[in-house]
Amino acid sequence: MKIECVVPSHSKVGEGAVWDDRAQCLWWVDIPAGLIHRYDPVTRENITQDFAEPVGCIAVRDAGGLVVAARSGFWLFDPETGKRHHLADPEAQLPQNRFNDGATDLQGRFWAGTMKDGGVPEPQGRFYCLDTDRTVHPWKDGIYTTNGLAFSPDGRQMYFSDSNPKVRRIWRCPYDPQTGTPGEPQEFFDTRSVAGRPDGGTVDAEGCYWMAGVSGWQLYRLSPEGEVLQIIDMPVEKPTKPMFGGRELDTLFVTSIGIDLAEGSDQPDAGGLFAITGLGIKGLPQPRYAG
């Protein structure tokens, strides 16, 4: 196994990694800087665009371009032309909130969650589904830091987490692919048993859940039963989002945070994008937003 910093970007909050299997590139963001990155692992070129406001997460659209969950809600964005189209701001009444983590279900619905941005943390985050007809449906509220959204290989289980130190748990719930409706959440994994708190997540081809252990210097591979199968020590304190990519979907890309680090810690690549090879594990093609 090899861990390499492929983009030493020193991002404030690198996040939102999603693999584009058609363009063979990795899209990712720097949340507070409002930057959207496009990394080509063949040429190693990383192209950056300024979205002009904090960007929590993105997904590739089936019709081309991206769907973006930003501070002011959901947008369609064409990276080629820079054209933006605002869809909805479901939390216009909460100016302190912004979108954070997201994922697309197998039917092309885009799920994303919000959180309070700055100040004393409060449980005012909520999950939303941007349906394929571009309507927005709220779901579970009372979350400090919405995170960890991912779906099982058959699309019938949805994962999510709350990263706040008071909570630091991952849940799983049954998911109806036809209606896009989650069932009752059940606790999947309590991260107080490991060093890192739950940040972004993804699911591999074997149905195992990968969690970035923010503030714990580690990644975790969890079985569908919630057992720790593998721990990977990272060269940075705050890994944030794992995502499988590459032509064979066997490279694990990991974003990271470059600010508010432990005093005196040696992590010159904090905030960079990492690539892990030699795992012997493959990921799943990422669904595209169908709206």
Task: Please give the annotated binding residues for substrate, written as ranges.
Answer: 98, 100
> Which is it for strands 35-40 and 84-88: parallel, antiparallel or unpaired?
unpaired
Asked whether the beta carbons of 176 and 183 are under 8 A apart, the reply is yes
Single out the catalytic residue among 30, 199, 204, 269. 199
In a domain, 12, yes or no: yes
Chain centre distance of CA 253: 11
Residue type (1 letter), 29: V
Handedness of CA 263, 269, 273, 279 (dihedral sign): negative
Pick from 33, 99, 115: nearest CA to 67: 99
Q: Which residues contact 260 (CB under 8 A, 6 or more apart)?
A: none
Residue with tokens 């990383």: 46
Task: Please give the annotated binding residues, written as ranges.
Answer: 15, 98, 100, 147, 199
In a domain, 284, yes or no: no
pLDDT at position 169 is 98
In a domain, 290, yes or no: no
10 Å Cβ neighbour count for 33?
17
**Segments in the chain below pLDDT 50:** none
**Residue 193 in 3-state DSSP?**
helix
pLDDT at position 161 is 98
Asked whether the beta carbons of 184 and 176 are under 8 A apart, the reply is no
Structural domains counted in the chain: 1
pLDDT at position 11 is 98
In a domain, 230, yes or no: yes
Burial 136-165 (b: 16+ CB within 10 A, else e): beebbeebbbbbbbbbbeeeebbbbbbbbe
Structural domain of 161 = 2-277
pLDDT at position 67 is 98
Asked whether the beta carbons of 211 and 193 are under 8 A apart, the reply is no
Task: Please give the annotated binding residues for a divalent metal cation, written as ranges.
Answer: 15, 147, 199
pLDDT in tens, 35-92: 999 999 999 999 999 999 999 999 999 999 999 999 999 999 999 999 999 999 999 9
Asked whether the beta carbons of 139 and 183 are under 8 A apart, the reply is no
pLDDT at position 200 is 98
CATH of the domain at 110: 2.120.10.30
pLDDT at position 61 is 98
pLDDT at position 167 is 98
Residues facing 228 on adjacent strands: 222
pLDDT at position 32 is 98
Query: Annotated catalytic, 20?
Result: no
pLDDT at position 177 is 95
Pick from 211, 218, 175: nearest CA to 190: 211
pLDDT at position 220 is 98
pLDDT at position 18 is 98
In a domain, 210, yes or no: yes
In a domain, 91, yes or no: yes
- How buried is residue 94: exposed, middle or buried, by Cβ count under 10 Å (0-12/13-18/19+)? middle
Asked whether the beta carbons of 200 and 101 are under 8 A apart, the reply is yes
- HEC readout, 83-139: CEEEEECCCCCCCCEEEEEEEECCCCCEEEEEEECCCCCCCCEEEEEECCCCCEEEE
Residues 50 and 20: their CA atoms lie apart, in Å, by: 20
In a domain, 145, yes or no: yes
Residues 167 and 188: their CA atoms lie apart, in Å, by: 13
In a domain, 286, yes or no: no
pLDDT at position 212 is 98
pLDDT at position 218 is 98
